[in-house]
């Protein structure tokens, strides 16, 4: 059974693959917001927003 997490922004369910590892990036299917997986334990996943990784993406 895949893990799910709720998007903090829009409340959509984000599916976390069974083989996901801490440090991987997942994105919300609805709003596209990106989260980094902080930790995964049995049945529970903790995410943090990935947007603080850097802002060098702009023009």
7 binds Zn ion (CB under 5 A): yes
Ordered DSSP codes for 1-59: --EEEE-TTT--EEEE-TT--TT-EEE-TTT--EEEEEEEETTEEEEEEGGGG--TT--
Among the listed ranges 16-24, 25-33, 42-50, 51-59, the one in contact with Zn ion (CB under 5 A) is: 25-33
* Shortest Å, Cβ 47 to Zn ion: 11
* Shortest Å, Cβ 42 to Zn ion: 25
31 binds Zn ion (CB under 5 A): yes
């Amino acid at each position: 059974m895949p893990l799910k997490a709720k998007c903090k922004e829009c409340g959509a369910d984000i599916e976390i693959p069974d083989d996901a590892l801490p440090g991987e990036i997942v994105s919300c299917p609805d709003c596209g917001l990106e989260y980094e997986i902080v930790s995964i334990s049995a049945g529970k996943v903790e995410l943090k927003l990935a947007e603080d990784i850097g802002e060098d993406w702009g023009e």
